[in-house]
Structure 1
Amino acid sequence: MSRVGKLPLPIPQGVDVALSPSEIKVKGSLGTLVRPAHALVTVKNESGKLMFAPANDSAEADAMSGTVRALVANMVNGVSKGFERKLNLVGVGFRAQAAGNKLNLQIGFSHPVAKDMPEGVQVVCPTQTEIVIKGADRQVVGQIAAEIRSIRPPEPYKGKGIRYADEKVVIKETKKK
């Protein structure tokens, strides 16, 4: 059986979990997240802890119990603490500016680039070369960060572009004469 799926998931103070046969709804101070329930996994709330078990003895049900537990753990974490991704802009004249739910980027193109943020995701620019993306849904926060990075990924010769804060870019050696 999945080792992750065996672990009970404690529900922190201020988080409500509603279980139904068709969906799992988690509500907290930072919002509400809903995920469809998986048919191969049974979820039970036992005295403030969620228990996940495979519905049958198949290997797929066993694997899905750990997957569903990890996804619900991310939902519980997201509505209580939230998730964030940090991006850095590297390059002369590269600037970012957050205006409401829109991110304006000047990253060396002939035109400024504007990126709209979806519902439940906030973007903050502490400095002109830093972008912080915050939200309750881990998947959405990571996807938005990846989409912003893909506008101008770091190039391998000078390292210019948009990169994650913890990303190490390997700079290639230039061609010799």
Structure 2
Amino acid sequence: MSRIGKQPVTIPSGVTVTLGQDRRLAVKGPKGNLELTLRPEVGVEIDEKEARVVLEDGADSREGRAFHGMTRALVNNMVLGVTTPFTKKLEIVGVGWNAAVQGKQIVLNIGFCHPVNIPLPASVTAEAPNPTTLILSGPDKQELGQVAATIRKVRPPEPYKGKGIHYSGEYVRRKAGKSFGA
């Protein structure tokens, strides 16, 4: 059994967790609804106050134990996400580079000859408190991370001047430039 998988997931008030016949776990809360299809190695036992992820019979292999812990972490992230949404903060470094939110898409002006438009999924919201900062939020941690990675991939930080899009708090390794000889 996985050490992480052994821990129960506490269900706060206002959140409902249901398991369908087709092994789909649904979590509904005040900030959104999420679904997860369970692997055949694991199951979920749901009480009023907590949910326990359990190994199915014959799934006590190394792979089964790994899925046990992973599924518990996914269920916990779903419960946390529907109560308080996850957030990711991106910073844009570069002279004249900026970002703006227009409806359900982000418009990036980051040194290309054209603006870059990135559509947002329905569950992810974005705001730009200033032109060089983007704050993304949403209940699904995986989808939020994927959207943030897609935005960062458009112009990742470069090591010489540090220009580009990076996560807030991310360390950008810097390199020395060319040294001129005599």
* TM-score normalised by length of structure 1: 0.96
Match of 2:100 in 1: 97
- Give the AA of the match of 1:29: P
Match of 1:46 in 2: 47
Deviation at 1:127, TM superposition (A): 0.5
1:11-37 Cα deviation digits (max 9, x unpaired): 011111011242100001111001102
**Are positions 1:12 and 2:15 aligned together?**
no
Match of 2:31 in 1: 30
Match of 1:87 in 2: 90
Match of 1:114 in 2: 117
- Give the AA of the match of 2:47: E
Report the more deviating stretch, 52-61 or 78-87: 52-61
- Give the AA of the match of 2:76: A
Other structure's SS at 2:144 match = helix
How far apart, CA to CA, are the structure 2 residues paired with 1:65 and 1:2?
A: 6
Q: Is the 8 A contact 2:11 2:48 kept in 1?
A: no
1:88-108 Cα deviation digits (max 9, x unpaired): 000100111111111111101
How far apart, CA to CA, are the structure 2 residues paired with 1:59 and 1:171?
A: 40
Other structure's SS at 1:125 match = strand
**Are positions 1:144 and 2:125 aligned together?**
no
Could you list the structure 1 runs, at least 4 aligned residues long, displaced by more than 4 angstroms after superposition.
none
Q: 1:128 aligns with which of 127, 131, 143?
A: 131
- Give the AA of the match of 1:23: R
- Give the AA of the match of 1:63: A
How far apart, CA to CA, are the structure 2 residues paired with 1:66 and 1:142?
A: 20
Note the residue ranges of structure 1 that are not aligned, 5 or more in a row: none
Other structure's SS at 1:131 match = strand
How many pairs align? Answer: 177
1:129-161 Cα deviation digits (max 9, x unpaired): 000111110001000000000000111110001
Other structure's SS at 2:92 match = strand
How far apart, CA to CA, are the structure 1 residues paired with 2:126 and 2:9?
A: 30
- Give the AA of the match of 1:12: P
Note the residue ranges of structure 2 that are not aligned, 5 or more in a row: none
How far apart, CA to CA, are the structure 2 residues paired with 1:93 and 1:86?
A: 19
How far apart, CA to CA, are the structure 2 residues paired with 1:89 and 1:47?
A: 45
How far apart, CA to CA, are the structure 2 residues paired with 1:52 and 1:103?
A: 38
How far apart, CA to CA, are the structure 1 residues paired with 2:43 and 2:152?
A: 38
Other structure's SS at 2:149 match = helix
* TM-score normalised by length of structure 2: 0.94
CA RMSD of aligned residues (A): 1.0
Deviation at 1:42, TM superposition (A): 1.9
